């Protein structure tokens, strides 16, 4: 049977004429000759294919082993990093820190949004005191700006057993005024912020000016550009907020002023510390004033704060 001409390679279709005549001379017919060449070339191409295949396989093997080497290295580095990170984050103190961070984000993104929407200048975020204009010898004792969480503020106000009417609310280190305007939702007699950084003081006053009056139960709100140590204590019942404001050096002076104002006119005063200094340091300072005692909270309220708020809150009140 004659092979199909398409399957026969070009070189097989035209074997050289000298070779053909010699093959004919040997008594081989042209059909048989073509078949012979076809088979020969087919055999050769199969060999070539096998050879090419082998080369391909050996080259891919080299590639695969190189890739495995590289990926393996990367994977082992990543695995080591992950293991280190798991070890770090599973330590009890870091678990607690991570949980606080998560609570902080949750508060900021969910609960604080309602009040944040009402501000002309956003109060959220963090500002380093290094970037601000501060004309005070106490600059180095001041803490960076970050606003109070609404939950912590509301929780603290709910812990005050007296009606808020008639109290003056003072925020030591008022920042952009979030605490002042949260306080304005309560029927205080007067609300005063004390802030020593010019830019934050300006932002707070802009926020006060633009805040919806219809929501304010106290409209007598003001922010003073002043160092906390220079603030004259109002001669009324008072709630004084310290949200992570400054170091012990400044707090001692402020407490001394509050205490002497109380001695001149004994009255009900509350000190609210959010994210207080070290608890023992604060307890010692407060004990030394002699006029303040801590407020104790019910177990369920303490639990609520521990579960929901990233902040610790401590409240003291005068003995009268």
Ligand X SMILES: C[S@@+](CC[C@H](N)C(=O)[O-])C[C@H]1O[C@@H](n2cnc3c(N)ncnc32)[C@H](O)[C@@H]1O
Q: Which two tokens stand for residue 50?
A: 């096998």
- DSSP letter assigned to residue 15: -
Least Cα distance to 256 among 305, 281, 292, 225 occurs for: 292
Under rule CB under 6 A, residue 151 binds ligand X: no
- Considering only 103, 148, 208, 315, the residue that binds ligand X (CB under 6 A) is 148
SS3 296: coil
Evaluate the CA torsion angle 280, 153, 250, 126 in order and state its sign: positive
Total residues interacting with ligand X, rule: CB under 6 A: 27
Ordered DSSP codes for 193-205: EEE-BHHHHHHHH
Under rule CB under 6 A, residue 152 binds ligand X: no
Residues 107-146, interacting with ligand X (CB under 6 A): 129, 136, 138, 142-143, 145-146
Could you tell me the smallest distance in angstroms from the CB atom of residue 196 to ligand X? 4
- Considering only 34, 107, 243, 314, the residue that binds ligand X (CB under 6 A) is 243
- Considering only 107, 168, 245, 318, the residue that binds ligand X (CB under 6 A) is 245
- Greatest Cα-to-Cα distance within the chain, rounded to the nearest angstrom: 140
Under rule CB under 6 A, residue 197 binds ligand X: yes
- Considering only 211, 246, 273, 316, the residue that binds ligand X (CB under 6 A) is 246
Could you tell me the smallest distance in angstroms from the CB atom of residue 152 to ligand X? 9
- Residue in the block written with tokens 């070189």: 11
Under rule CB under 6 A, residue 310 binds ligand X: no
Give every strand in the sheet of 292-294, ordered side by side: 221-225, 190-195, 167-172, 237-243, 269-274, 313-318, 292-294
Residues 201-220, interacting with ligand X (CB under 6 A): none
Could you tell me the smallest distance in angstroms from the CB atom of residue 319 to ligand X? 26
- Considering only 108, 112, 195, 311, the residue that binds ligand X (CB under 6 A) is 195
Give the residue closest to ligand X by C-beta. Answer: 173
Phi, psi of 294 (to 5 degrees): -75, 150
Nearest to ligand X of 12, 174 (CB atom) = 174
Return the bridge partners of 194, or none: 172, 224
Under rule CB under 6 A, residue 174 binds ligand X: yes
For the chain, how many residues are written? 320
Judge whether 123 and 116 are in contact, CB under 8 Å.
yes
Nearest to ligand X of 42, 257 (CB atom) = 257
Residues within the interface to ligand X (CB under 6 A): 129, 136, 138, 142-143, 145-148, 171, 173-175, 178-179, 194-197, 200, 227-228, 243-246, 250
């Amino acid at each position: 049977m004659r092979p199909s001409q398409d399957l026969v390679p070009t070189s097989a279709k035209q074997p050289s004429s000298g070779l053909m005549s010699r093959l004919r001379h040997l008594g081989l017919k042209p059909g048989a000759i073509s078949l012979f060449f076809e088979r020969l070339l087919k055999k050769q191409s199969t060999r070539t294919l096998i050879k090419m295949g082998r080369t391909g396989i050996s080259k891919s093997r080299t590639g695969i082993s190189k890739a495995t080497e590289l990926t393996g290295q990367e994977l082992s580095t990543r695995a080591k990093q992950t293991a280190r990170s798991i070890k770090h984050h599973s330590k009890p103190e870091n678990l607690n820190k991570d949980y606080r961070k998560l609570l902080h984000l949750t508060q900021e993104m969910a609960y604080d949004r309602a009040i944040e929407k009402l501000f002309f200048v956003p109060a959220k975020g963090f500002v380093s005191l290094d970037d601000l204009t501060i004309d005070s010898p106490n600059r180095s004792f001041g803490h960076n700006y970050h606003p109070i969480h609404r939950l912590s503020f509301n929780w603290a106000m709910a812990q005050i057993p007296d009606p808020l009417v008639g109290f003056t609310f003072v925020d030591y280190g008022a920042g952009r005024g979030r605490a002042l305007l949260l306080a304005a939702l309560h029927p205080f007699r007067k609300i005063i912020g004390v802030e020593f950084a010019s830019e934050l003081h300006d932002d707070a006053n802009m926020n006060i000016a633009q805040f919806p009056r219809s929501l304010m139960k106290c409209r007598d709100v003001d922010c003073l550009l002043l160092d906390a140590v220079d603030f004259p204590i109002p001669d009324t019942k008072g709630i004084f907020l310290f949200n992570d404001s400054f170091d012990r050096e400044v707090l001692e002076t402020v407490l001394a002023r509050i205490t002497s104002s109380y001695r001149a006119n004994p009255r009900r005063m509350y000190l609210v510390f959010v994210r207080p200094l070290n608890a023992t340091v604060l307890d010692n300072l407060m004990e030394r004033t002699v006029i303040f005692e801590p407020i104790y909270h019910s177990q369920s309220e303490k639990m609520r704060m521990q579960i929901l708020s990233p902040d610790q809150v401590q409240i003291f009140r005068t003995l009268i």
